[in-house]
Amino acid sequence: MGGANNLTRLEHPERIRVEMEKVEGAFEELRKIKELFARRGWFPATSGNLSVRMDVQEGEPDLIAITASGKDKTVHTPEDFLLVDREGKPAFPTRLKPSAETLVHTAIYQKIKDCRAIFHIHTVHNNLISEQCGDAGYVSFSGHEIIKALNIWEEGAVIRVPIVPNHASIPDLAQAVREVTDPRVPAVLIRNHGIYAWGDSIFAAKRHLEAFEFLFEYQVKLQLLNQ
């Protein structure tokens, strides 16, 4: 956003306006999440991406703050994030490229109307679970206290996380994710790739992601103990 720090508003050629304070606030929230997840080793080899849907003026299209492509997420720079429109294209002139998987984010935002934040990470545990259960097309969990973190409170509740193939074509991947996205289950696994988790706030998306990663790690370690 270089050179924009003295502006109070940004203007898109199509007259989309965004308060600069809100943009900087969204970028700062993403920076905090990026730093936290990087410390946990959830962004190996520049992988993963984060986004937050921006509030804009009534009647104007949504804008999304998202991580830039190819950045080392263990360090901070002034060019870690940018704004894209609901089609995944940069909303303002920039030399930055949005994450290669931006279309997956926009597909989820379009499907889940109250979604405000989406986090995508690659971990060994979510890859192992996705491969083990990939042929079934889902992995299910029940009897875990931490399921309550997903706003599921029923006695003996079961949650089923869908798994889709890791399509090389990003439009195909985005469509596959869109088809299985369920408002009741705030995550989708991509086989041998990673997880997309979301929520109606940054806090909720973080809570959901942490709950799923706990469940994946538990399942992997339980299987090792039972061998």
Binding residues: 120, 122
| 177 residue type, one letter | V
Written as one string, the DSSP assignment of 111-159 is H-TT--EEEEE--HHHHHHHHHSTTTTEEEEES-GGGGGGT--STT-EE
What is residue 97's three-state secondary structure? coil
Binding residues for Zn(2+): 120, 122
- The helix, strand and coil proportions of the chain, stated in percent and rounded to the nearest 5, come to 35, 25, 40
| 98 residue type, one letter | P
118: number of Cβ within 10 Å = 27
What end-to-end distance do the CA atoms of the chain give, in Å?
53
Q: Is the dihedral of CA 181, 53, 78, 92 positive or negative?
A: positive
Give the residues across from 121 on adjacent strands.
195
Instruction: Give the pairing of strands 194-199 and 187-190.
Output: antiparallel
